[in-house]
């Protein structure tokens, strides 16, 4: 595989070049469309490419610059959007048959914020149906392929966004992360993926999966790109009452300045035999890199790491079963045809069994079960108690260190069709679900590679920090990135 070392340009720098006339939004859109026409079909990163709309937006931006106006800090920056984030541009399908023809009458708050700063949307990216999965194979429209090796998965559920960034189809992308769906595909595709603190970024217009866990976040080719998009999207939104009323931190100005006296916590539970040898080695390399920069490595314990998956698979399906109840075949999406004598109940049942794929149906059944009377206390309430303990465990760990370091995924990208058992798929998220359960921020960046047969596969490391510590977390990630600059498939 040919690779290309990536020089950190930053999205603001791209926009500055566009505003200064050194580049144009139109030529940038054409360059992305050319790369999409080369590899777009093979990778299936997009559900929909919006060539006309992107060209029109670029023309407007270039014209406004000619008139001497300032189209914003993201002028001419090209973004791909996960197809569970509402856009008036094109469809919003969640990669589900149920919403195959759905057009949103409104834009998500993040879309409004980004477009108002000059960003251009190039298309909607593929995902596991309703963001349920870790490989993007659960899309009703077919799997996305990993740009490093097309026989392998890109991770999920935001696999389309991760693949689009790594393949150079866009400058950056948006995903959503409920249990790892930004960080795990970033790790498997070799780009940077960032899940901010719960409440930092408005979820208004994100199709809800697990509302107490969901968070929108950026994918970019480097940490700086994620920091810039984060700042552009973050902050209180009156349309989402869970957003916090805290000032958005300045994450960019000091991003390149190494942190003195940084304490890196490495949880004992993140170093297990479950990790592929290549992943274990990558962790050792990352630890060594931090040591060489003067950071202190602290051993910490997170004994509840291994109950994260079971806790998540009670809470997330419970919330999903209630969130997905709105898809009834009447208000939204697919409506089944009734036979003579069938009634309203049949309409719900038929529409939902035709419209939802097997994994979504499994989650709805699981969620309905754990919420049903007689089981509610045993499962749902119990999971909420464990959730509180997981939060306390992180709080305790953060009294000993500033950030936590570990692998994002226990294994590099696996073969398409390679994980048939749902439980084996769920285990891909062992290191990422607890971040959402605790509501803290996490970032994954590429630090190493595995050689498997003829394939070179990226390996990502995850850093987690205390709630609202994004500025520190991004700076700590940038330190590691400087020692291991990213590269992408040429
Ligand atoms: N893989 C996890 C799941 O299937 C997480 C998905 C996500 O973060 N959206 O639920």
Give the residue among 25, 11, 112 at the shortest CA–CA distance from 62.
25
Please check the confidence at residue 234 and state whether its pLDDT lies above 90: yes
Q: Is the peptide bond before 402 cis (omega within 30 degrees of 0)?
A: no
Mean pLDDT, residues 122-146 taken together? 98
Is 478 within the bounds of a domain?
yes
Mean pLDDT, residues 73-89 taken together? 98
Is 383 within the bounds of a domain?
no
180 C-beta closer than 6 A to ligand 1: yes
Please check the confidence at residue 282 and state whether its pLDDT lies above 70: yes
Mean pLDDT, residues 162-181 taken together? 98
Give the residue among 195, 126, 190, 123 at the shortest CA–CA distance from 156.
126
> Among the atoms of ligand 1, which is closest to the Cα of residue 316?
10
Tell me which of 95, 181, 409, 469 is the catalytic residue. Answer: 181
Handedness of CA 127, 129, 133, 135 (dihedral sign): negative
Please check the confidence at residue 484 and state whether its pLDDT lies above 90: no
Is 342 within the bounds of a domain?
no
Mean pLDDT, residues 456-462 taken together? 98
pLDDT of residue 176: 98
Residue to probe by mutation, ligand 1, list 94, 127, 134, most atoms within 8 Å of CB: 134
Mean pLDDT, residues 335-345 taken together? 94
- Is 181 one of the annotated active-site residues of the chain? yes
DSSP summary character for residue 212: T
Considering only CA atoms, which residue is closest to atom 4 of ligand 1? Answer: 133
Mean pLDDT, residues 225-242 taken together? 98
pLDDT-based confidence at residue 444 (cuts at 50, 70, 90): very high
Please check the confidence at residue 191 and state whether its pLDDT lies above 90: yes
Give the residue among 217, 254, 118 at the shortest CA–CA distance from 441.
217
> Among the atoms of ligand 1, which is closest to the Cα of residue 433?
5
Please check the confidence at residue 50 and state whether its pLDDT lies above 80: yes
SS3 content of the chain, % helix, strand, coil (to 5): 40, 15, 40
pLDDT-based confidence at residue 488 (cuts at 50, 70, 90): confident
Ligand 1 mean position to 104 CA, how many Å?
23
Mean pLDDT of the chain: 96
Is 273 within the bounds of a domain?
no
The boundaries of the domain holding residue 210 are 3-259+409-489
**Residues of 98-113 as b/e, b for ≥16 C-beta within 10 angstroms?**
bbbebebeebbbbbbb
Mean pLDDT, residues 267-287 taken together? 97
Is 352 within the bounds of a domain?
no
pTM: 0.97
Is 275 within the bounds of a domain?
no
132 C-beta closer than 6 A to ligand 1: yes
pLDDT of residue 485: 79
pLDDT of residue 9: 78
* 88: CATH: 3.90.1300.10
CA distances for 223 relative to 59, 219, 452, 482, angstroms: 29, 9, 27, 10
Q: Is 200 exposed, middle or buried (0-12, 13-18, 19+ CB in 10 A)?
A: buried
Mean pLDDT, residues 314-331 taken together? 95
Mean pLDDT, residues 91-114 taken together? 97
134 C-beta closer than 6 A to ligand 1: yes
Please check the confidence at residue 333 and state whether its pLDDT lies above 90: no
Q: Which of 1-15, 23-37, 165-179 has the lowest mean pLDDT?
A: 1-15
Mean pLDDT, residues 228-251 taken together? 98
Ligand 1 mean position to 184 CA, how many Å?
9
pLDDT of residue 1: 58
pLDDT of residue 438: 98
Q: pLDDT per residue over 414-436, tens digit each?
A: 999 999 999 999 999 999 999 99
157 C-beta closer than 6 A to ligand 1: yes
Give the residue among 88, 173, 178, 61 at the shortest CA–CA distance from 128.
178
- Is 109 one of the annotated active-site residues of the chain? no
Q: pLDDT per residue over 365-408, tens digit each?
A: 999 999 999 999 999 999 999 999 999 999 999 999 999 999 99
Q: Are 441 and 194 in contact (CB under 8 A)?
A: yes
409 C-beta closer than 6 A to ligand 1: no
Is 276 within the bounds of a domain?
no
Question: What total number of domains does the chain contain?
Answer: 1
324 C-beta closer than 6 A to ligand 1: no
Is 368 within the bounds of a domain?
no
Ligand 1 mean position to 286 CA, how many Å?
26
- Is 82 one of the annotated active-site residues of the chain? yes
């Amino acid at each position: 595989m040919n690779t290309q070392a990536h020089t950190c340009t930053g999205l603001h720098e791209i926009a500055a070049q566009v505003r200064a006339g050194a580049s144009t939004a139109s030529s940038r859109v054409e360059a992305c469309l050319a790369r999409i026409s080369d590899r777009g079909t093979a990778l299936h990163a997009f559900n929909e490419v919006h060539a006309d709309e992107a060209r029109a937006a670029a023309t407007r931006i270039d014209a406004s610059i000619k008139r001497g106006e300032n189209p914003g800090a993201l002028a001419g920056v090209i973004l791909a959007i996960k197809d569970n984030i509402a856009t008036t541009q094109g469809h919003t399908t969640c990669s589900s048959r149920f919403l195959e023809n759905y057009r949103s009458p409104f834009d998500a708050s993040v879309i409004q914020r980004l477009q108002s700063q000059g960003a251009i949307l190039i298309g909607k990216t593929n995902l596991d149906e309703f963001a349920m999965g870790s490989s993007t194979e659960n899309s009703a429209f077919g799997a996305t392929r990993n740009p490093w090796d097309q026989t392998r998965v890109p991770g999920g559920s935001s696999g389309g966004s991760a693949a689009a960034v790594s393949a150079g189809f866009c400058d950056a992308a948006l995903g959503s992360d409920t249990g790892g769906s930004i960080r795990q595909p970033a790790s498997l595709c070799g780009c940077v993926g960032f899940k901010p603190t719960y409440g930092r970024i408005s979820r208004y217009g994100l199709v809800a999966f697990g509302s107490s866990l969901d968070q929108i976040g950026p994918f970019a080719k480097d940490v700086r790109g994620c920091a810039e998009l984060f700042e552009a999207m973050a902050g209180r939104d009156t349309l989402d009452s869970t957003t916090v009323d805290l000032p958005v931190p300045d994450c960019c100005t000091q991003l390149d300045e190494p942190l003195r006296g940084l304490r890196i916590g490495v949880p004992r539970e993140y170093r297990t035999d479950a990790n592929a040898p290549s992943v274990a080695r990558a962790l050792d390399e990352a630890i060594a890199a931090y040591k060489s920069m003067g950071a202190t490595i602290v051993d910490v314990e997170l004994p509840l790491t291994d109950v994260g998956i079971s806790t998540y698979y009670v809470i997330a399906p419970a919330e999903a079963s209630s969130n997905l109840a709105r898809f009834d075949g009447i208000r939204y999406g697919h409506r089944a045809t009734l036979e003579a004598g069938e009634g309203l109940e049949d309409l719900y049942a038929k529409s939902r069994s035709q419209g939802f794929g097997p994994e979504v149906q499994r989650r709805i059944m699981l969620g309905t079960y754990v919420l049903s009377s007689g089981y509610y206390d045993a499962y749902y309430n119990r999971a909420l108690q464990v959730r509180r303990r997981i939060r306390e465990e992180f709080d305790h760990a953060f009294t000993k260190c500033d950030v936590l370091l570990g692998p994002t995924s226990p294994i590099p990208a696996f073969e398409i069709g390679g994980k048939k058992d749902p439980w084996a798929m769920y285990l891909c998220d062992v290191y990422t679900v607890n971040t959402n359960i605790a509501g803290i921020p996490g970032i994954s960046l590429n630090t190493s590679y595995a050689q498997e047969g003829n394939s070179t596969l990226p390996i990502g490391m995850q850093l987690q920090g205390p709630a609202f510590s994004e500025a520190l977390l991004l700076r700590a990630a940038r330190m590691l990135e400087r020692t291991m600059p990213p590269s992408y498939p040429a």
